[in-house]
Structure 1
């Protein structure tokens, strides 16, 4: 019987990844389509991808699939053939990472979820059948300076902070489910304008475009393949990039460099910096921006308190973490930055 779940420790898996001699390609893709039996689909896909030595994170739901993976370069064509053999995925666009060291994932995880992207939509009349028009890189560059066009970033603050399209507006909410109704409210009165939605790989902005149409907006577009595909098209065609800075990605890299612009700053000293990291305190793991000097000063931690904690005996650190959800601040979007994690006083 084929193994359908990982049974090896994370540490050993990471060691195996870094011991590999063949380079890997990092890929993202998604597709909205109906899956009658998500668990059965998941198990079948796991067997096939496991055999191809694919690592990564994949979500399966009745509404479709959402994946961020890596594959040994020699297995790329076999992977594509495997995916294209599924009728609904035949011809699927595979977004190849722009800035890739091949060390993005070290284990394969495929999970069944209620939605492939949590949206909070409970309206039975909402449908993904009616969605915005695709825009490629040239279409984006044509529209971005049009006064009758509004570019809307459907990503979180920590993503927008390090890179975004010129003049794009941020929807300042903590989750995608909150952003959808907020975007509608922010754009009321502009129903006749060109509304361009964008996100990392396309999955959020595609759903957002359908949501905007559902709420009466008429000229709605979304960036095909998201920022990842835009950056590739710009590079391949020698175009000017209207996206500046870094594209935040949800894997071990935490970002892809799109342009040399550094538009963010270190959360501790304020100098120009766009390098995300997670606090080294296992009871915190806050995601924040930290320059090299502050990384040395604070030992990779977000605060003096967390720095003190990581130098305590391991047993004491474990005692302090009791009752605290480990890593609770990873990808925490709150603008009240660098708040220390809950812990007992030492």
Structure 2
């Protein structure tokens, strides 16, 4: 965990639960967060809530007390990290059909979660090379390819998906080769891997777990054992290391690619304009559109 002189508390949380009064609750969430100087995003959906917020310790604590006063969210679990500045520029409360888009609305985790494995148990399984029943353990990353490139578990299966809606088909296509394994799905904070594991159960996987709390909870409880690299996060920090500290990894404003510290040494890396991943495209566009470049 980071040093105590960092004053901003960053929280990530979600819960799948029937939430049919989202339209009525939206202005209340927005007003409370604005009153307490919080920034970030809260997603309200008929299937539950998903949030990323940052603010001072008293304001974060006030929000969690207010949220948990609603019995539907009394037991919501929170992942926490610290930073020395506010990672978000504004406060948004959004209404969506799903708190994480998979385009499989029949999945209702509140009616029965997929089995989960806690961080300490997973580390033990990975240390010994098998689960408690002697079955080989396979890690399946449910995140997008650019997130995986920042860091992931050793020997993980990465299907190079570009968006989560691609996951149901790709995991169905590989079912036969995973049938004799214990599969552990994982993601940043737990929401995608929970939905993924339920879908896998629904299509016939008989030994599948989700990593409880995702990578961030794993970092918090056991550090970086069996993990290579950092964890991409969706705010200005871009990536956190296993100590939950901000790293020097950046994200290109123009093409949204992740830019490593080494890539930032490239002459093609111009903060806010280009990076080695997209500089060639910008050069081609400029040559084809000289008048546009002159006007700029």
Identify unmatched segments of 5+ residues in structure 2: none
166, 171, 174: which one pairs with 2:154? 166
The residue that corresponds to 1:56 in the other structure is 40
Q: For residues 139 and 318 of structure 1, what CA distance do their matches in structure 2 show?
A: 59
In 1: Cα distance, 2:255 partner to 2:155 partner: 32
Rate the CA distance shift 1:192–1:59 in 2: closer, same or farther, 3 A: same
CA distance in 2, matches of 1:22, 1:256: 15
Whether the 8 Å CA contact 2:40–2:89 is kept in 1: the answer is yes
Verify: 1:289 aligned to 2:259, yes or no. yes
- Of 100, 124, 127, which residue of structure 1 is paired with 2:83? 100
Equivalent residues of 1:180, 1:208 under 8 A apart: yes
User: Secondary structure of 1:188's match?
Assistant: helix
Q: Distance in 2 between matches of 1:160 and 1:293?
A: 17
Q: How well do the aligned residues superpose, as a CA RMSD in angstroms? A: 2.8
Residue 220 of structure 1 and its aligned partner are, at CA, apart by: 1.4
**Cα distance between partner residues in 2 of 1:59 and 1:170:** 27
Count of equivalent residues: 273
Question: How far has the Cα of 1:49 moved from its partner?
Answer: 1.7
**Alignment CA distance shift 1:170-1:127 (3 Å):** same
Cross-structure match for 2:205 = 217
Change in CA separation of 1:162 and 1:288 when aligned onto 2, cut-off 3 Å = closer
After TM superposition, the score normalised by the length of structure 1 is 0.71
- What is the aligned counterpart of 2:282 among 287, 301, 306? 306
Residue 211 (structure 1) shift: 0.2
The equivalent of 1:89 in structure 2 is: 73
Per-residue CA deviation, residues 61-115 of structure 1 (Å, 9 max, x unaligned), is 1001111110212323212211111111112111002x63342112110110111
Aligned equivalents of 2:294 and 2:184: distance in 1? Answer: 47
- Rounded to whole Å, the distance in 2 between the matches of 1:228 and 1:204 is 13
- Which one scores higher on RCO, CA 8 angstroms, separation ≥ 6? 2
Deviation, structure 1 residue 243: 1.8
Pair 294,84 (structure 1): closer, same or farther in 2 beyond 3 Å: closer
Structure 2 counterpart of 1:113, from 96, 99, 105 = 96
1:211-244 Cα offsets, whole Å, 9 max, x none, are 0000111121111111111101115xxxx62222
Corresponding residue number in structure 2 for 1:66: 50
Q: SS at 1:92's partner residue? A: coil
